[in-house]
Structure 1
Amino acid sequence: MTFIPHPDRRPVLVAGASSGIGAATAEYLAAAGYPVALAARRIDRLQELADKITASGGEAVAVPLDVTDEQSVVDCVAKAEAALGPIEVTVAGAGDLAIGLSYEVTSEEFASQVNIHLVGAHRIYRAVVPGMIERGRGDFVFIGSDVVLHPRPWSSAYVAAKAGIDGLVATVQLELEGTGVRASVIRPGQTITGMGMNLDQESTEAMLNDWIKHGLARHGNFLAPEHLAQGVAAIVAMPRGAHMRVVEIEAEGALNKKGSDA
């Protein structure tokens, strides 16, 4: 059976669009012609970005979203579709970062990270994918992490949640086979975002020293959120009939003198 090409209009819902990877992805996709619904808790920051996008000739709407609240997720999708039409593309990237040694964090703190990063992503998935299946097309992109492949000390809850994302994606890819809906995961390496900027200096230094001790900080270069935005754009722009299932994006190490002179 021949796949029908993507429709000309493909509304996008970006969860976690108030900063970092989500904001960069929303702006990048809007510049590429996608109508974008910006979703997060910080509605004032969303509105600023929506105004910036529309001033540049794009189409954007700001919608409040708390991924830990199922009704908020349902309402967010309803408002986004009322403004832009049926959601064709979803990017699930909402999250924050709380650190601590695994034997010191409380079970409540641990569960909170899993609720945001893993269960929150599933809430969004559950709210939009049935409609995609009914239409026979759609892209759902989960923002994962390279900590799944290289776990880092002080991040046990975050690592567990992102490992859960990988397991969820692997499962739903099997379940969505033949529906026309594609589920993908991006695993970013170290990226400069607002996530984790509220951590105290003492804990951060202890964490980084442990990373170095275990060889998990090979160099000091970081990805920019825009690099991940380009990865998302490549996934969803892939012609129907093909599927970028897992994409890993890492920062390159600094050029050595020989390389820079080449």
Structure 2
Amino acid sequence: MAFIPHPERRPVLVAGASSGIGAATAEWLAAAGYPVALTARRVEKLQELADKITAAGGEAVAVPLDVTDDQSVLDCVAKAEAALGSLEVVVSGAGDLAVGRSYEQPVDRFVDQIDIHLNGAYRLYRAVIPGMIERARGDFVFIGSDVTQRPRTFSSAYVAAKSGIDGLVATVQMELEGTGVRAGLVRPGQTLTGMGMDLDQKTTEDMLNDWIKFGIARHGNFLGPEHIAQAIAGMIAMPRGSHMRIVEVEAEGAVPKTKH
């Protein structure tokens, strides 16, 4: 059976849209004509971005979301769909970063990271996928990380959570085969966002020295959040019947000035 093309109107929900990759993705997709539900815990930040998008001619609403709370997720999806219509696209990128050596950080901090990055993504997935399956179309994009391929010290909980995302996506891609619904994984490399920018100097120095020791810090270039937004936009714009399953985005090393 042939796939029915994407509808002209494709409402999007972006989790974690108050800053970083989520905010850049929401703004990028809104500029491309997608109606966007901006969701996160910091509603005032969401509203600022929603106002910016609407002032530029786009369509956006701000909806509170705490991915660690089951009811918050359900309420968020219901409010987003009431405002924009049935969700065609969901981008799951909510999260923060708590760093520290695995044997030094408190257990509850480790558990919290798993709940935000892995369990939170699953809560959102579970809330929207049945409706997408019923409509026989939809895109769910999980934001993973290249730490699953190149683990970084001081990030054991984050690495464990994102490795769980890799496993979850691999499984749901098989389960969704033949439903018309696509699940995709975007693995960003080092990206300049707000995550990890509030670390004290000693922790930062210890972490970076560790990364150098293990050959993790190849160069000092970082991606911008807009680079990841473009990858997400490309993934969901693929015509029906095709499936961009995994996209890895890495910062390019600087070209020596002598080569310019």
Q: Alignment RMSD, CA only?
A: 0.6
SS in 1 for 2:142: strand
Matched to 1:159, the amino acid is: V
Question: C-alpha distance in 2, partners of 1:201/1:77?
Answer: 39
- Which residue pairs with 1:246 in the alignment? 246
Distance 1:63 1:139 in 2: 20
Match of 1:8? 8
CA deviation after TM superposition for structure 1 residue 113, in Å: 0.3
AA of the residue aligned to 1:108:
D
1:3-31 residue CA offsets vs partner (Å, 9 max, x unmatched)? 00000000000000000000000000000
User: How is 1:10-89 mapped onto 2 (pairs within 5 angstroms)?
Assistant: 10-89=10-89
CA drift at 1:108:
1.1
The Cα offsets for residues 70-97 of structure 1, whole Å up to 9 and x where unpaired, read as 1000000000000000000000000000
Specify the SS of the correspondent of 2:68: coil
Aligned equivalent of 2:165: 165
Q: Deviations over 1:121-179 (max 9, x none)?
A: 00000011110000000000000000000000000000000000000000000000000
Compute the displacement of 1:105 (Å): 1.4
* Pairwise CA distance, 1:258: 4.0
Unaligned runs of 5+ in 1: none
CA displacement at 1:101 relative to structure 2: 0.5
The letter of the residue matching 1:226 is: E
Distance across 2 between alignment mates of 1:259 and 1:129: 49
Which aligned pairs between 1:188-203 and structure 2 lie closer than 5 A? 188-203=188-203
Aligned to 2:160, what secondary structure does the other structure show?
A: helix
Aligned amino acid, residue 93 of structure 1: G
State the SS of the aligned residue for 2:39.
strand
Give 1:205 shift. 1.2
Matched residue SS, 2:210: helix
Amino acid at match of 1:195: M
Give distance in 2, aligned partners of 1:47 and 1:109: 29
Structure 2 match to 1:231: 231
Give the letter for the 2:125 counterpart.
Y
> 1 CA distance for matches of 2:93 and 2:237?
18
> CA offset at residue 259 of structure 1?
3.0
Aligned length: 260
2:131 maps to a residue whose letter is: G
Give me the TM-score of the superposition, normalised by structure 1: 0.98
Q: Distance in 1 between matches of 2:257 and 2:50?
A: 43
3-state SS of the aligned residue for 2:230?
Answer: helix
